[in-house]
């Protein structure tokens, strides 16, 4: 592993893609995260598993700076989020694609408008070029025929795929996905996992948060299990499937219902 430094080490190893050390977070006296530490090297697919209410989504929110930290260090590609001004944080976020649990598509924009939004905001590309990129990106998630639809007209699985297209359109180096299979049938969930799996060929780093152990196991290189706000176990999917901790074993092999 890249060690315990967020900005690389003396041996010249690069900074990890995602780094989180001794992170604590409470909401109104309720301690949600207690001393959470995770290091994800560049190019690794990492799964964070846990039962509902264990702080998985909070961890993801902290990782991208949407939720402020109480204490600890979180860094993206060596840049410590706590040290950044809001403008600098926005720059770092351009390197990260975030897939929200319900897609979080902009209601006022069509599918095309949603996927084109980051390109219009952050690039100088011409409208025709943007249209071509959007078409290609939507084609990669199988929604090229739905470009003109509004989010309200989409199913849950389609919304997630549009959300994924929007997260990937700027070609980020890191992708974070919050419960990518929740609320979906087994076939649609498997399609979403396949789409995420293809990111491996493109050299992306992936952090996926889920309670669908069996699905995530097929996708990731390493995983951690969050239990009552702390990391209960870390390892490869096979290692965790053989864990002595019964709850860890159950989570890693559990299929979403």
Partner 1 sequence: MFTGLLKFIGAAGELGIFSARATRDLFRPPFEIAELTRQVYECGMKSTPLIACSGLALGAVMAMQSEASMSRFGGQALVPEAVGIGIFRVLGPLVTGLLISGRVGAGIGAELGGMRVTQQIDALEALAVDSFKYLVVTRVLACIIALPILTLVMDFSGLIGGMVLDMAVAHVSPMLFLKDAFQVLALGDYLPTVLKTTVFGLIIGTVACYLGYNTSGGATGVGRASTRSVVFCSLLLILIDIILVKLSFFWSSP
Collapsing DSSP to helix, strand or coil, 234 comes out as strand
The stretch among 2-10, 30-38, 117-125, 235-243 that binds partner 1 (CB under 8 A) is: 117-125
Nearer to partner 1, 84 or 214 (CB): 84
Burial of 104 (0-12, 13-18, 19+ CB in 10 A): middle
Cα–Cα distance for residue pair 191/69, rounded to 1 Å:
34
Of 18, 33, 48, 96, the one binding partner 1 by CB under 8 A? 96
Cα–Cα distance for residue pair 174/76, rounded to 1 Å:
9
Binding of residue 241 to partner 1 (CB under 8 A): no
Of 25, 79, 161, 166, the one binding partner 1 by CB under 8 A? 166
Binding of residue 19 to partner 1 (CB under 8 A): no
Cα–Cα distance for residue pair 223/92, rounded to 1 Å:
24
Binding of residue 22 to partner 1 (CB under 8 A): no
**Beta bridge mates, 45:** 206
Tokens of 159: 């919304």
Distance in Å, CB of 16 to partner 1, minimum: 20
Of 105, 184, 223, 224, the one binding partner 1 by CB under 8 A? 105
Place of tokens 């290189």: 221
Nearer to partner 1, 86 or 257 (CB): 86
The stretch among 22-30, 118-126, 212-220, 230-238 that binds partner 1 (CB under 8 A) is: 118-126
Of 102, 123, 136, 155, the one binding partner 1 by CB under 8 A? 102
Place of tokens 């997630």: 160
Q: Which of residues 74-93 bind partner 1 (CB under 8 A)?
A: 86-87, 90-91, 93
Nearer to partner 1, 21 or 101 (CB): 101
Please name the helix (run of DSSP H) or strand (run of DSSP E) that holds residue 179, with its range, or none.
none
Neighbours of 113 (CB within 10 A): 18
Distance in Å, CB of 186 to partner 1, minimum: 25
DSSP-assigned letters across all residues of 201-228: TTT-EEEEEES-HHHHHTT-SEEEEEET
Q: Give the footprint of partner 1 on this chain (CB under 8 A).
A: 61, 64, 66, 86-87, 90-91, 93-94, 96, 98, 100-102, 104-107, 117-118, 121-122, 166
């Amino acid at each position: 592993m890249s060690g315990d430094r967020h900005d690389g080490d003396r041996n010249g190893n690069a900074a990890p893609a995602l780094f989180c050390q001794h992170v604590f977070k409470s909401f109104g006296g309720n301690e949600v995260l207690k001393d959470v530490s995770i290091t994800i090297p560049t190019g690794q697919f990492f799964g964070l598993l846990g039962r509902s209410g264990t702080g998985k989504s909070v961890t993801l929110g902290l990782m991208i700076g949407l939720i402020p930290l109480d204490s600890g260090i979180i860094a993206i590609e060596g840049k410590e989020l706590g040290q950044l001004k809001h403008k600098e944080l926005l720059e770092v976020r351009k390197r990260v694609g975030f897939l929200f649990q319900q897609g979080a598509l902009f209601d006022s924009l069509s599918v095309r408008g949603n996927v084109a939004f980051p390109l219009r905001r952050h690039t100088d590309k011409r409208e025709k070029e943007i249209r071509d990129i959007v078409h290609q990106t939507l084609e990669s998630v199988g929604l090229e025929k739905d470009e003109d639809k509004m989010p309200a007209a989409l199913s849950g699985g389609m919304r997630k795929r549009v959300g994924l297209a929007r997260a990937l359109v700027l070609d980020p180096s890191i992708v974070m996905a919050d419960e990518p299979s929740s609320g979906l049938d087994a076939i649609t969930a498997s399609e979403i996992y396949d789409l995420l799996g293809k990111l491996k060929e493109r050299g992306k780093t992936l952090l996926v948060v889920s309670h669908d152990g069996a699905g995530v196991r097929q996708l990731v290189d390493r995983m951690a299990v969050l239990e009552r706000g702390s990391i209960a176990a870390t390892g490869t999917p096979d290692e965790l499937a053989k864990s002595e901790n019964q709850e860890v074993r159950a989570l890693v092999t559990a299929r979403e219902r």
